Amino acid sequence: MSKHNEDGVQMNALQAHDAAELRQVDWLIGIDEAGRGCLAGPVTAGACVLHRDFFQSQRALELSRAINDSKQLTAPARAAQWTLLETLRAEGLLDFEAASSSVAEIAALNILGATRLAMRRAVEALAERATRWELPLVASDGPLFAASAGGVRLLVDGRPLKPFPYTHTGIVKGDGTSLAIAMASIAAKVTRDREMLRLAEHYPQYGFAQHKGYGTAAHRAALQTHGASVIHRELFLRKVLSASSGAAS
C-alpha cells in the first residue's frame, strides 16, 4: 500500500518511514558508513539531517524519490545521487556531511572504534553548521539508547553504537529502510570512493580504482606480488597473507 504526505502526495517506502519518524520529532539525522570491511584505506561515515518540513515540500519529495541504498547502485548512479543531494542542500531542504577515520586510527582503535569516530565526526560537522538544533547528548542517569531527545532523533545503520555520546536508535539494514540513512550512505560511499581514486594515483600497482580497497581476487593477487602499502590495514591482511603463504609452502 502506497503512503502519502499530509497533502496527499505519494511517497515511497524510504520516504514514508522518515515521514512517520518526523511526526514525533522535528529533526531526523541518518548515519551510515562505507569501507568498514576493506583491506586498505579509511573508513568513512556519512550523516544527513532532515527537518519535518522536508516531507511537505513537493520538490523535496520528487527529487528524493530516486534515492536508494548506495550498495544497490552503480558508481554513475551514486554520482548522480550525490549531485541530487547537493541540489537539495543548495535549496535549503537538507544538509549532509562525510568524515573519515584513517588507517592509523583503525589500527589504534580497531575498526569498530574507528567507525564510531568517523560517525561522530560526520554528525558533529553537521551540528557545527546548525542554528536550529543541537545533538542529543546521552544522559548520564538515563537510558543509553533513548529514541529521541530535544526534538532531534539520530538513526544509525546497524546495531546501536556503544559507546557513543549521542542518543540514537540503531536500524539493521537501515540504508534500505530510512531515507536519511540512505542519503548518508551515498555521502559516505561517494566520499570514500573519491579518496580511493586519489590513492590509486599514488599506488597504481594495487588497482584501487577498480576495487576501492575491498578484498577482491585482483587485490589479493597484487598484495602477493607487491606486499602491503602504508595505506593497507595490517590486522585485516594477516589472514589473507598467512593463508596464501600456507598454500604456497
**What does the block give as the cell for 94?**
537538507
pLDDT for 70 equals 81
Pairing of strands 10-11, 95-101: unpaired
Q: Per-residue pLDDT tens for 132-177?
A: 999 999 855 444 444 444 599 999 999 999 999 999 999 999 999 9
**CB under 8 Å to 135, separation ≥6 — which residues?**
123, 124, 127, 152, 154, 166
Q: Domains of the chain by range and CATH?
A: 3-201 (3.30.420.10)
Ranges 19-28, 118-127, 199-208, 231-240: which has the least confidence: 231-240
Q: Is 194 helix (H, G, I), strand (E, B) or coil?
A: helix
pLDDT for 142 equals 46
**What does the block give as the cell for 220?**
589479493
Measured distance CA(243)–CA(217) in Å, rounded: 13
